[in-house]
Chain A
Amino acid sequence: NAGVTQTPKFQVLKTGQSMTLQCAQDMNHEYMSWYRQDPGMGLRLIHYSVGAGITDQGEVPNGYNVSRSTTEDFPLRLLSAAPSQTSVYFCASSYSMHQNHEQYFGPGTRLTVT
């Protein structure tokens, strides 16, 4: 199993550009989520999904869209990048939303918006 994969690893955007961060898992996990990690702060939840076709907002959803058309993929879209979105983004997955299971994290995407 590849686990949770993310692409790209690094990205530089100009303000106003759009892009999609890709996330995929091959463990047939129900729950997938996107976090951002900023210096001096804990990981913060952006959006999450409990299955194909079902998504919901987390703590910091503004400026981001998600969709989940398959169990495996959970892309994160930045519609119009802003410098405040400079961060490291992690995708994670877990077997179930409503039971206690280990969380698996992707390697992260380091995004800089200039």
Chain B
Amino acid sequence: KNEVEQSPQNLTAQEGEFITINCSYSVGISALHWLQQHPGGGIVSLFMLSSGKKKHGRLIATINIQEKHSSLHITASHPRDSAVYICAVSPLLTGANSKLTFGKGITLSVRP
């Protein structure tokens, strides 16, 4: 069974800081997703990537397929970035790209 590990489990940062959230997984994948969940809120897709790097605003996601590792970076963090960040993967073995396996998520708090 594929395992998706996220670190650190909880993270507190000061406004303006550069933040890195990590995700590692144990089997071959076709894609990796980064999702965001605000307290009491729904889940929003931030990125889907299978290689390299993607950027959207202050968010950057990278993936290293050989090392089975991905990072989500937040530049110039803001209190509104406070949320749970979830990493999910599409394991190759399932043959079903939409059947995702999820990490437990990391709770990020950005203090003003």
Q: Which of A5-44 contact B (CB under 8 A)?
A: 31, 33, 40-44
Find out whether the CB atom of A98 lies under 8 angstroms from the CB atom of B45. no
Cα A106 to Cα B42 with chains together (Å): 7
Please classify how large the interface on chain A is, using the bins under 10, 10 to 19, 20 to 34, 35 or more.
Answer: 20 to 34
Contacts of B86 in A (CB 8 A): 42-43
Given known A40-B104, A42-B102, A43-B102, contact A104–B45 (CB-CB < 8 A)? yes
Q: A97-B99, A98-B95, A100-B90 are in contact. Are A105 and B43 (CB under 8 A)?
A: yes
By secondary structure, the A interface counts as: loop
Query: Bound complex: CA of A41 vs CA of B101, how far in Å?
Result: 11
Nearest A residue to B84 by beta-carbon distance?
A37
Q: Does B76 contact A (CB under 8 A)?
A: no
B29-78: which residues lie under 8 A (CB-CB) from chain A? Answer: 30-31, 33, 35, 41-45, 48, 50
Known: A42-B86, A42-B105, A43-B86. A101 touches B42 (CB 8 A): no
Q: Chain A CB within 10 Å — which of B45, B90, B95 has the most?
A: B45
Q: By the criterion CB–CB under 8 Å, are A108 and B97 in contact?
A: no
Q: How far is the CA of A45 from the CA of B90 in the complex (A)?
A: 13
B105 touches A105 (CB 8 A): no
Q: How far is the CA of A90 from the CA of B100 in the complex (A)?
A: 13
Chain B: interface residue total (CB-CB under 8 A): 26
A101 touches B48 (CB 8 A): yes
B102 touches A99 (CB 8 A): no
| B30–A100 touching, CB < 8 Å | yes
- How far apart are the CA atoms of A41 and B43 in the complex, in Å? 15
Partner pick for A98 among B35, B44, B50, B97, CB 8 A cutoff: B97
Q: Which chain A residues border B95 with CB–CB below 8 Å?
A: 98
Q: Which of B44, B97, B104, B105 contacts A100 (CB 8 A)?
A: B97
Interface residue? B98 (CB, 8 A):
yes
B36 nearest CB across to chain A (Å): 10
* A residues adjacent to B (C-beta < 8 A): 31, 33, 40-45, 48, 58, 90, 92, 94, 96-108
The 7 closest A-B pairs by CB, nearest first: A42-B102, A105-B43, A100-B31, A107-B42, A43-B102, A94-B98, A31-B98
